[in-house]
A and B are shown apart, each in its own frame.
Chain A
Amino acid sequence: MSGRFGFSIDLPVRNDWRNVDLMRSSIQSCFTAVFRDLDGCHAMSMITGELLENAMKYGHWGEREQVFRLRITGDSAHATIVVENPASRASGHVERLQQCIDWIRGFGNPRDAYRARLREIADADPGQSRQLGLVRVAYEGSGVLSCHFDGSVVVVTVELTL
Chain B
Amino acid sequence: MVAAVGVVNDLVAGDLRIAVVEDGKLVRCDWRGRSVEREADLTLRPFFDRLLERVQELGALLEMHFEELDYFNSSTIGTLISFIQKARRQKVHLRMVYAGNIKWQTLSFDALRMFERGDQLFELKAASP
Q: In the complex where A21-B34, A111-B111 touch, is A121 in contact with B104 (Cβ < 8 A)?
A: no
We find that the number of chain B residues with CB closer than 8 angstroms to chain A is 26
B41 adjacent to chain A (CB < 8 Å): yes
Bound together, the chains give a CA A43 to CA B107 distance in angstroms of: 11
Give the residue of A17, A21, A119, A121 whose beta carbon is less than 8 angstroms from that of B78.
A121
Question: By DSSP majority rule, is chain B's interface helix, strand, loop, or mixed?
Answer: helix
Quick check: A53 and B38 within 8 Å, CB to CB? yes
Bound together, the chains give a CA A45 to CA B85 distance in angstroms of: 29
CB neighbours (8 Å) of B15 from chain A are 21
**Size category of the binding interface on chain A:** 20 to 34
A60 adjacent to chain B (CB < 8 Å): no
Quick check: B38 and A118 within 8 Å, CB to CB? no
Quick check: B73 and A53 within 8 Å, CB to CB? yes
A103 CB to nearest B CB, Å: 15
Q: Closest residue of chain B to A57, judged by CB?
A: B38
Quick check: A118 and B82 within 8 Å, CB to CB? no
- Restricting to B57-92, which residues have a CB under 8 Å from any CB of A? 71, 73-75, 77-79, 81-82, 84-86
A 39-57 binary contact with B (CB < 8 Å = 1; else 0): 1001101100110010011
Query: Which residues in A have some Cβ–Cβ distance to B below 8 Å?
Result: 17, 20-21, 24-25, 39, 42-43, 45-46, 49-50, 53, 56-57, 111, 114-115, 118-119, 121-122, 126-127, 130, 132-133, 136, 139-140
Name 9 interchain pairs, CB-CB below 8 A, sorted by A.
A17-B38, A24-B36, A39-B103, A46-B71, A49-B71, A53-B75, A111-B111, A122-B85, A126-B41
Query: Which residues in B have some Cβ–Cβ distance to A below 8 Å?
Result: 15, 34, 36, 38, 41, 45, 71, 73-75, 77-79, 81-82, 84-86, 103-104, 107-108, 111-112, 114-115
